Amino acid sequence: MSETRPDHAALSHSGRAIWLRRDAEKITGSLPPLLAEASQLAHVLASGLHGRKRAGPGEDFWQFRQALPGDPASAIDWRRSGRGDALFLRDREWETAQTVSIWADAAQSMNFKGPDSDRTKGERARLLALSLAILLSSAGERVALLGTAARQPRNGETQMQRMAMELARESGKTSDYGSVPLTPLPRGSRAVFLSDFLGPDETIFPVLARAADSGVKGCLVQILDASEEAFPFDGRTVFQSMAGTIDFETQRARALRTAYLERLAARRARLQDSADRNGWRAHFHRTNESPRKALLWLYMGIGVPA
Amino acid sequence: MLVLGPLGFAAPWLLAAVLALPILWWLLRAVPPKPAVRKFPGVSLLVGLIDPEKMPDRTPWWLLMLRVLALAAAMIGFAGPVLNPDNRPAGSGPLLVLIDGSWASAAEWQDLRANVADVLDRAQADGRTVALHAMTAPLPSDDALPFRDAAEWSIRLPAMEPQAWPSDRAGFAEWLDANDAGSFETLWFTDGLANSADESLFAILSESGPVTLFDDGEPALAITGPVISDQALLVEVLRSKADAELTLTISAIGSDPIGIERVLGQSEAIFGASDLKTEARFEMPLELRNRVSRMIIQGVASAGAVALLDESSRRRKVGLVAGVPDREAQQYVSPMFYLKKALAPSAELIEVPLADLLPASPDVIILADVGRLPATEAETLAEWVRMGGLLVRFAGPRLAQSGTGQLEDDPLLPVQLRAGGRNLGGAMSWGTPKTLRPFPAGSPFQGLAVPGEITVTSQVMAQPGPDLSGKVLAALEDGTPLVTGQALGEGKVILFHVTANAEWSNLPLSGLFVEMLERLTASARVAVAPVADLTGETWTPVKVLNGFGQFTDSGLATGVSGERLAEGGVGHDMPPGIYAAGERQVAINLMQAGSELAAMAAPPSNIIIGSIAAATEIDLKPLLLLLALALIVADVLGTLWVSGRLTGPRVAAAVLFMLAISLTGGRADAQSGDEAALLAANNSVLAYVLTGDDRVDAISLAGLRGLSRILTERTAIEPVAPVAVDVESDELAFYPFLYWPISELQPSPTDAAFTKLNTYLRHGGMIMFDTRDANLGRSAGASSNAIVLQRLTAKLDIPPLEPMPRDHVLTRTFYLLQEFPGRWTGSDVWVEAAPAAETMEGMPFRNLNDGVTPVIIGGNDWAAAWALDENGSPMFPVGRGVGGEGQREIAWRFGVNVIMHVMTGNYKSDQVHVPALLERLGQ
């Protein structure tokens, strides 16, 4: 994002967090605050800042109602009450916050960077995660980062800081392909999964089904490198997974291109299909595309009622 | 060394490795190219796919072939293959390399020297001691052959030159015979000429060991000293072998009237198929002939092909003796006047009394109306004629009155005279003046046109006799003899029956008279100074020939005694050339008329005939290794291609690499050199000399950049960016001005660079030397930079210098200046000293001669004052404050003046005279 951005690896943990935060704020800056759709208001226990179309704790005016016995005297709106004999209270709209759980895949496969790319898929995922979190947080939503220490849904600057620190943490020894953490999602909350979804089927689709069962809706973003979409290889090649657990040797890589692209298309179709059936939305993002495109899509995906 | 046909191998056992190639082939085939390993997360999608195309896991045959060929080329290369190997067996023991080294080897000297060098190299490799002797050189001074290390001779060999005289085989044979040199092998590089001592030399050399004779087989060509015969110069042309018809061009060379040497005449010498000798004839006017100084065989560079002419074959010495002393008032009636006028252009005249004349050895003596001679003088004169002199007498009143030869046969008169003469056409005579008949056959005057207006009124008459008609060389129309002649001994006596003045006939007034006298003098035999004359004098060489037939400096040659000269035959003590003693000059030629050339006879059977033209060895190792390298490069590219990794940038890199290999650096350099030359030739460019000190060079660049900018702003000179010049490698001719800062890091230029710099200075270039040390005080010559300057300029052709005078043109070429500061100020600036000032009337300025001063030497560090950085601001502080900036301005002005001076030469110097000139014009 910034041309003066130093090499990711050369920074300390907190330094990386700061940079990530900056990048994220940069791409969110031009979007209006996100108001998550609150159709599941009744099921949400926690209060939030969204208007719930009913009176309750909140900032905005909702309605005047006649004071009932037991209402505190301090709640009386004397200005309204002064027009007549009845005492009126000023009800405010009950505001509540949406909970959005974000999962940014931190597996080894996300550390891949094609020869013509300058960011790894993981970097892009973390960037999108934090950008989205900042957008949501500034709109009053509560954000959680699944699988990390910031998994408790909160909002505010502290949560942002914590998330940035978590996202910038070195992934360490992780598995080849990521799988969604099995922590139960808050009922009716929203979820965003950022991954390449190249891992085994059983690590992906059951999780979606389970999430849908608990009323969680959300977005899938498959982040791929350009070389993973184009497969520009030729010659005698041994392909290895990032952690080296899988390898595959071919005599002429070029000849496998068609088959590979077919399989990739099938995987995407399945992701799309699975998302559709579970009320999710799927998006396919390439690291050489602008991250704003994906963020805008996420904004739409989270904000528009499913 | 293993030899297979024309190929030899220095290390043949390495060839055994070639047998391993099939195994290598099998091994290489078995090992497939290593696959590329790629990290790729998408591998999970690949798992389970089946390769539709089976890539051969074996190396393709052509790649294998490349590798095997590369290896084979390397193996064969390391086995040291040599084309046309020199497989002469290694010899042992001392080796005598005998060279004739005469003029006959000159044409093939380079080959001969190369062959001898080869022999020496081999001898050194074999560890043999060698004695190298050229038989044209003096005999070894001690009594043993100088057997030494071959390397020592190799050092001396390049200095050996063919000599202009024949090799002294007889002397060497005698010397060998006298000194027992032990046993040795002999390699004799002969010039192919026969010599009387050949047999004995062969015999003596064979006694000591095997003898190999190398002969280049080329016939030797020579030209003899010219002789004059029948009005023509005649040279004999000789060759040593008659193998085919041959036509040679002989040129006569001499100076033209201006003194420039030219070819004055050419003639062809034609050899028949079996001729060893032919001759070339030069028919040329006497005037031209007299100027011929040498004759050469065109296209042959050897001393044998040059024949020198001395004075003797040119102007004749003519002694004039008058019977009547000259009378002052009557010079136009004096016979001597007519004779001198007629002879002066073509002959050297000696006018002394007869007694003193003979010792001067004249070729011709003319007696004009001399009557009776004293008996002793008559006797010596007759003796001189008998020795070959030509005596020409003119009649006259005194001869007629003296009665000489009227009663008896006078040997000094060709005919007997009748008492009294005859007068024709006078007041008292009946007859009319007689004209001349055409000249009879056999007369020296034959062929001369006789003008009809020549008349004879008086003459002495010959006594008729039976032999008179044979003596008549010219006659009147009535048959009366006018000129008679008779041989006397080897000489000749000729009598003109008229006077040498216009008294008796008008013959002396005509051109015919001149032609007749020229014919006579030219027919005179050249007087050879008798041996007695040569002895006792030392003849110093004026010009001597070297073996290639060029004149060399005879400065070191010692004089030759007259006895040696008389003995004849050239040698190391008397090379052919021109020798002088006092006024006299003689030409000593290699070949005299009558000498012969012969090829060396076939040597005895025990002599080995070596062939001199062995095919040169060609070492194939570098070629093969280069081939191997090229194949390996091709293999790298092929491997990349096969494994699919020859993509995108790699292709470009490979192509670039191949281009880089195929293009040599030299051509790239030449290209850039051309561009630099074009830039400098099409623009004004200031240049500075690279010192090797980066900082100094950077200041020079910035300084000249600043000066160029100032020039562009203020003057019509608009230089492009300054250029750095390496005096070793760059052409200087394009740069009118060189700034040369002195740095201690500067290495001394090579001699070639000095030559270039001197040429540059002589042809109008200017170098500005800057020692940059004026801040260190005025102790000129003491600073380290000044010492470097002395070292650098030691070999430069720098004229006398003087501190720049106040009226030097540099002070007014553009700005009027009185001081010449740079970053420092105060030190003297030295320029070429003006020649003695020619103060002209009303002109206070020096009339400096044409040139620009070729050097300016100073220490004010001008470049630092001129220097501007890229932004156009000064790089170095000058002086202090405003005064310092003023000094910088003056420095720039001085720079402008210098460049103006360089570009305009003395134009500005002339300009200062314009007011004076205008003033004069006004008057």
Region of poorest pLDDT, from A161-170, B528-537, B626-635, B814-823: B528-537
Q: Which residues of A touch B644 (CB under 8 A)?
A: 233-237, 252-254
Is B39 in contact with A228 (Cβ distance < 8 A)?
A: no
pLDDT band at residue A1 using 50, 70 and 90 as cut-offs: very low
Kindly provide the b/e burial profile for residues B495-518, where b requires at least 16 CB atoms within 10 angstroms of the residue's own CB: bbbbbbbbbbbbbbebebbbbbbb
Antiparallel, parallel or unpaired: β B390-394 and B491-496: parallel
Which residue of B43, B51, B645 is in closest CB contact with A251? Answer: B51
Chain A neighbors of B638, CB-CB under 8 A: none
Confidence check: pLDDT of B78 > 90: no
Judged by average pLDDT, the poorest of A191-195, B309-313, B643-647, B731-735 is B643-647
Is the pLDDT at A305 greater than 50? The verdict is no
Name the token pair of B178. Answer: 């006298």
Q: Is residue B745 within 8 Å of B693, Cβ to Cβ?
A: yes
Per-residue pLDDT band for B702 (boundaries 50, 70, 90) equals very high
Residue B466 contacts residue B430 (beta carbons within 8 Å): no
pLDDT digits (tens, 9 = 90+) for B206-233: 888 888 888 877 788 888 888 777 667 8
Nearest to A237 among B32, B38, B47 (CB): B38
Helix (H, G, I), strand (E, B) or coil at B870: coil
pLDDT in tens, B549-561: 888 766 656 778 8
pLDDT higher than 90, residue B130: no
Lowest mean pLDDT among A202-211, B8-17, B45-54: B45-54
Nearest residue of chain A to residue B33 (CA atoms) = A236
Q: A296: distance to nearest CA of chain B, Å?
A: 27
Tens-digit pLDDT profile for residues B240-250: 888 888 888 89
pLDDT, tens digit (0-9, with 9 covering 90-100), for B165-188: 888 888 888 888 888 767 888 888
Is the pLDDT at A45 greater than 50, yes or no? Answer: no
Of the residues A109, A124, A251, A286, the best mutation for testing chain B's interface (the one with the most B CB atoms within 10 Å of its CB) is A251
**Higher model confidence: residue B593 or residue B155?**
B155
Contacts of A112 in chain B (CB under 8 A): 39-41
**For B876-901, what is each residue's pLDDT tens digit?**
888 777 888 888 999 999 999 999 88
Give residues with Cβ within 8 angstroms of B899, minimum separation 6.
B686, B707, B711, B715, B717, B719, B737
pLDDT value of residue B700:
92
Helices (H) and strands (E) in chain A, counts: 8, 10
Which residue has 């200095």 as its token pair? Answer: B159
Q: Yes or no: say if B294 and B307 are a contact pair by the CB < 8 Å rule.
A: yes
For A141-145, B479-483, B782-786, B873-877, which range has the lowest pLDDT when averaged over its residues?
B782-786
Q: Are B282 and B269 in contact (CB under 8 A)?
A: no
Range in B612-621, B673-682, B886-895, B909-918 the model is least confident about: B612-621
Read off the pLDDT of each residue in B137-141 and give the average, rounded to a whole number: 80
Q: Which pLDDT does position A9 carry in this prediction?
A: 54
Cβ atoms within 10 A of the Cβ of B600, count? Answer: 18
Q: Are B837 and B846 in contact (CB under 8 A)?
A: yes
Asked whether residue B847 carries a pLDDT value surpassing 60, the answer given is no
Candidate ranges B321-335, B343-357, B844-858; pick with highest mean pLDDT: B343-357
Here the contacts of B196-199 (C-beta below 8 Å, separation 24 or greater) are: B196/B170, B197/B169, B197/B170, B197/B172, B197/B173, B198/B169, B198/B600, B198/B601, B198/B603, B199/B604
| From B45, B54, B647, residue closest to A263, measured CB to CB | B45
pLDDT tens, position by position, B740-756: 998 888 888 888 888 88
Q: Which of B31-35, B267-271, B426-430 has the highest mean pLDDT?
A: B267-271
Q: Does A174 touch chain B (CB under 8 A)?
A: no
Of B193, B10, B237, residue with least CA distance to B102: B193
Question: Average pLDDT, stretch B784-804?
Answer: 81
By mean pLDDT, which of B225-229, B274-278, B310-314 is the weakest? B310-314
Chain-chain contact of A251 with B37 (C-beta, under 8 angstroms) = no
Name residues whose C-beta falls within 8 Å of residue B887's C-beta, 6 or more positions apart in sequence. B821, B825, B865, B878, B879
Contacting residues of B for A199, CB less than 8 Å apart: 44
Between CA B758 and CA B903 the distance in angstroms is: 19
Chain A residues close to B35, C-beta within 8 Å? 235-238, 249
Q: For the residues B315-344, what does the mean pLDDT come to?
A: 78
Lowest mean pLDDT among A41-55, B580-594, B757-771, B788-802: A41-55
* Summary mean pLDDT of chain B: 80
State the average pLDDT over residues B865-872. Answer: 86
A274-278, B404-408, B643-647: which range is least confident on average? B643-647
Mean pLDDT, range A15-21, rounded to an integer: 73
Average pLDDT value over all residues in chain A: 76
Q: Is the pLDDT of residue B69 over 80?
A: yes
Asked if residues B517 and B527 have their Cβ atoms less than 8 Å apart, the reply is no
CA distance A159 to A27: 19
Which residues have CB under 8 Å from B606's CB, separation 6+?
B206, B211
* Alpha-carbon span B887 to B456, nearest angstrom: 96
* H or E stretch covering B69: helix B61-78
pLDDT surpassing 90 at residue B739: yes
In contact, B304 and B221? CB cutoff 8 Å: yes
The span from the CA of B264 to the CA of B522, in Å, is 19
Q: Which helix (H) or strand (E) holds B871?
A: none
Q: Which of B33, B42, B55 comes nearest A228 by C-beta? A: B42
With contacts defined as CB-CB under 8 Å, which chain A residues touch B32?
A: 236
CA distance B45 to chain A (A): 6
Q: How far apart are the first and last CA of chain A?
A: 32
Determine the average pLDDT of the residues in B388-397.
87
pLDDT higher than 50, residue B839? no
Instruction: Encode pLDDT of A268-302 as tens digits.
Output: 999 999 888 888 889 999 988 887 788 878 877 77
What are residue B581's phi and psi, to 5 degrees?
-135, 115
Tallying the residues shown for chain A, one arrives at 306
pLDDT at A49 (0 to 100)? 45
pLDDT class for B670, splitting at 50, 70, 90? Answer: very low
- The pTM assigned to this predicted structure is 0.43
Sequence-distant (≥ 6) Cβ neighbours of residue B357 within 8 angstroms = B319, B321, B350, B365
Does position B88 have pLDDT exceeding 70, yes or no?
no
Tell me the mean pLDDT in the region B565-579: 79
User: What mean pLDDT is predicted for residues B422-434?
Assistant: 74
Mean pLDDT of B663-683: 65
A161-170, B162-171, B287-296 — most confident range:
B162-171
pLDDT at A265: 92
A94 touches chain B (CB under 8 A): no
Q: CB distance from A243 to chain B under 8 Å?
A: no
B313 has a pLDDT exceeding 90: no
Contacts of B59 in chain A (CB under 8 A): none
What's the confidence (pLDDT) of residue A34?
33
Tokens of B210: 């095997």
